[in-house]
Chains A and B, each alone.
Chain A
């Protein structure tokens, strides 16, 4: 190797150092929670998680899945759920059978509730937005521009502006504490951004494609389902991941409209933070249960998430 090459490498060392330092700073907090969630509670409260590999304790004492089990079934006793069941007497409110996985106080049930909320609240807005986006992109009607401009403005309205009136209406029709109430609310709020994205993407599709379809006698309806939707898959994928993450991670809407009747993951965790204090073994496990799905989705579909974010943000 020439000296020139060695020089180049040496010059890059500060760059790599700073970059890796930044990366470490970014990962360490999450890593701490991840490692802690596998440690037994006695160790958590007496030693820092960074000592998790220390030879002070034997292999079997260092790690455990008890925290996850306790979090999923919602067990908050002093020992662990598995120990309590093995001792013969099932603890209060538990059966020590497989049905405990869906105990309403546990994260298992909350995971299910989160799914129940998120999936429809993702499909509905995208469906509506696809229709509206197509109309804005390819149909002529009076007020098209003005309406779309209003839509752009609506993207920014904060949730807080709308709680009180909607709560009152929901209370009158008995929709409080129901899944439908939350689905519709998320649909309404997801609309402006979703329509914006769909319309922008659909209008970049080549004109000739649609024109030749119309010439061949296609109606708007079939052009929509046979042409626009399949071609708009990248935009739809972006929207799916965006909306899914948004609803899954939401706390405020679930807090206000659903509350404790059908607690979702975020709600349960928020509760545990305020009421448990020193229960880090449960908190860390619960936090990771709620983070697992979004992280998997995120890493798998990162490309689409980024694309959705960049739409309309970067000039040129």
Chain B
């Protein structure tokens, strides 16, 4: 007797599935879907939601009507008078900083993650090594902020209690105020992010690397390929889909990142990123119109990745 293709052998009421889904659907609609639309709506209103955003324009200044909040969000930190001013202010704005974060943190975690995955694959203490690299993911960003603030500690004198400055002064240099020095503080913050998330990319990439068929690697080694060739010509192309997944996940995480900056510098000294700027507008300045406009810009930036995720899901389903 041939069985029907569907998984359903049992009678079920039309209502049953929806009852199972109800709590989840309710909670998600209330906490994600509805607020999303409300936030978009609020971004077109003025700061107390009493009138349209167009009413918050100032006399004699450029005004974008109902998009006034967006005008502020996009141009508030940037000086568009000359090209060089634009370039400079862009890179110290929250958008420039976020871009720095994305480029450096994503490439840093992926490259380091790959490197470490390849290295520990060849040592007998691999599980221990992976645990140690992965461990920072267990602690909060706040905890990491404390750990690294301590590492970066700066004393204007001979006595250094921060390890980095101790090494620098030990080698004869002058101590550096890492977190307030605007030319390098962003990088120092990004290092914390890389420290925390490399374990994530290492774990996923290591798993992918191990699934590369051993015979393929053996055959190429017998044919005379050295380790670099084996890695770049065989392993990397095979795990490329996984690398893409790691990259997209990291970009999304970086775009949402708030805690590290908030705890270590509060967004001062030109370290502001999109998420901290939104927080400042909302809770320090109490300007809901502007805060929500920034949030919408954030979701627009993330949107391509939503599409990518859904597409990947559909492709996976098709091959089930």
Contacts and interface: CB of A to CB of B under 8 A. Distances in A.
B20 A131 contact: yes
B1 interface: no
B17 A139 contact: yes
Contacts of A134: 20
Contact of A251 (B24, B27, B142, B163): B142
Nearest to A191: B28
Nearest to B309: A152
Contacts of A132: 20-21, 23-25
Contacts of B181: none
Contact of A158 (B16, B145, B255): B255
B282 A314 contact: no
Interface residues of A, number: 105
A44 B161 contact: yes
A274 B265 CA distance: 9
Contacts of A180: none
A224 B307 CA distance: 32
Interface residues of B, number: 105
Given A139-B20, A251-B259, A287 B36 contact: no
B134 A160 contact: no
A29 B148 contact: yes
A117 interface: no
A64 interface: no
A230 interface: no
Contact of B32 (A189, A195, A220): A189
A198 to B, nearest CB: 10
Contact of B35 (A166, A215, A274): A166
A149 B313 contact: yes
Query: Which of B17, B39, B134 has most chain A Cβ within 10 Å?
Result: B17
B275 interface: yes
A35 to B, nearest CB: 11
Interface in A157-196: 157-166, 184-185, 187-189, 191-192, 195
A298 B151 contact: no
Interface string B280-299: 00110000100110111011
Interface in A230-282: 245, 248-252, 256, 265-266, 269-270, 273-274, 280
21 contacts: A22-B119, A26-B136, A131-B23, A132-B25, A156-B252, A157-B299, A158-B275, A161-B296, A162-B32, A163-B35, A163-B295, A191-B28, A248-B140, A270-B145, A273-B142, A294-B140, A297-B138, A313-B242, A314-B207, A315-B242, A316-B211
Interface of A: 12, 15-16, 18-19, 22-23, 26-30, 32-33, 36, 44-50, 127-129, 131-132, 134-136, 138-141, 144-145, 147-149, 151-166, 184-185, 187-189, 191-192, 195, 207, 210-211, 214-215, 219-220, 224, 245, 248-252, 256, 265-266, 269-270, 273-274, 280, 283-284, 286-287, 290-291, 294-295, 297-299, 302, 306, 309-310, 312-316
Given A280-B153, A287-B143, 4 more contacts: A19-B123, A23-B133, A48-B163, A269-B146
